């Protein structure tokens, strides 16, 4: 880490944790074709785990919007396009078929991934996501001396 900077006053020992909550709106980050940065990256990091959890049902304006999770220039690195309205409050979003279970094993695509681009989600499909909330939690370690993950 650059200059010995600790990424969070709450998490001072690795792995470090970064959190971001995003509220979708049809005219902004929920618009079809829009990619929204969730976490800014500096340098190279290894994602120990990324855990998206829906806290409020996602809704659609019309049509069938979908959501991907990845990095800039590879927007489905972590999760392929998932029909937005399948994401309900309480669901862990770990694949394209979210279910309401008491627990779920993280798939390989959500852990132990080397990256050096911002983590983002992208709305795809035929329309907008008009509402809903997802909380993203990232556990990470720096690989380069300047490796850092910060919520946008």
Q: Is the pTM of this model over 0.85?
A: yes
pLDDT tens digits, 18-60? 999 999 987 788 888 889 999 999 999 999 999 999 999 999 9
Buried b (16+ CB within 10 A) or exposed e, 123-143: bbbebbbbbbbbebebbbebe
Helix (H) or strand (E) holding 70: strand 65-71
């Amino acid at each position: 880490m650059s200059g010995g900077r600790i990424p969070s006053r709450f998490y001072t020992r690795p792995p470090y944790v970064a959190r971001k909550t995003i509220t979708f709106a049809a005219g902004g980050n929920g618009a079809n074709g829009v990619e929204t940065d969730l976490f800014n990256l500096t340098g190279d990091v290894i994602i120990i785990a990324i855990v998206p959890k829906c806290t409020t049902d996602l809704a659609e304006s019309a049509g069938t919007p979908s959501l991907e999770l990845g990095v800039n220039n590879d927007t489905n690195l972590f999760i392929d396009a998932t029909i937005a309205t399948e994401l309900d409050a309480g669901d862990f979003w770990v694949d394209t078929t979210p279910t309401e279970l008491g627990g779920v094993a993280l798939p390989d695509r959500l852990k132990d991934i080397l990256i050096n681009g911002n983590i983002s989600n992208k709305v795809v499909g035929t329309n907008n996501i008009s509402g809903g909330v997802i909380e993203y939690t990232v556990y990470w370690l720096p690989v380069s001396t300047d490796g850092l993950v910060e919520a946008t």
